[in-house]
Amino acid sequence: MAATGTAIATANTDDANSSAQAIGFTFSYNGQNFTQFVLNTNGFIKLGSTAPTAAAMFLDETANSGVTDPFQSADANIIAPFNIDLQAGAAGSTEYRVATTGTAGARVCTIQWKNVQDKPGTNPTQYTNMSFQVRLFEGTNVVEPGV
């Protein structure tokens, strides 16, 4: 996405949620309509204006760690293109962005995590610098990962 779209602010790059961000259109998911999402730095979004119940939510590699698994929590409407414990990447500036493109009826909302890495835990860091996206499609309500 380069510098297109809008930067999404978070308190830090490790276990943080953004404020509610506009999708740019109404997106239907799980039988509900949404116009906003909250980004989590651990590689997922929660549709709606309410932040997830915990900022440190991710699929943990350590058994019985006490970390909240977003898929086992009371939080609904989570879309997770890459949900592990993430932090700032080894190179470049970490940033999160959203851009809505296209014409009414066929718009696409692209949400990007740029220059992040998985945190070492039981296993060492595997990806020292990576970027990924998720796309929400107006009208078809398709969710698609992107790079």
Report the pLDDT value the prediction gives residue 84, as an integer from 0 to 100. 86
Q: pLDDT tens digits for 26-81?
A: 999 999 999 999 999 999 999 999 999 988 888 766 666 667 777 777 889 999 99
Identify which has the larger pLDDT, 48 or 91.
48
Report the pLDDT value the prediction gives residue 63, as an integer from 0 to 100. 62
How far is the C-alpha of 55 from the C-alpha of 40, rounded, in Å?
Answer: 7
Over residues 88-95, the mean pLDDT reads: 92
Q: Give the Å distances, CA to CA, from 119 to 17, 18, 87, 127.
A: 17, 20, 6, 9
pTM: 0.91
Report the pLDDT value the prediction gives residue 122, as an integer from 0 to 100. 66
How far is the C-alpha of 132 from the C-alpha of 86, rounded, in Å?
Answer: 12
Report the pLDDT value the prediction gives residue 65, as an integer from 0 to 100. 65
Evaluate if residue 4 carries a pLDDT over 80: yes
Exposure string over 101-114, b if 16+ CB within 10 A, otherwise e: eeeeeebbbbbbbb
Spans of all domains in the chain: 6-146
Report the pLDDT value the prediction gives residue 9, as an integer from 0 to 100. 97
Q: pLDDT tens digits for 95-140?
A: 999 999 999 999 999 999 999 999 887 677 888 899 999 999 999 9
Report the pLDDT value the prediction gives residue 61, as an integer from 0 to 100. 64
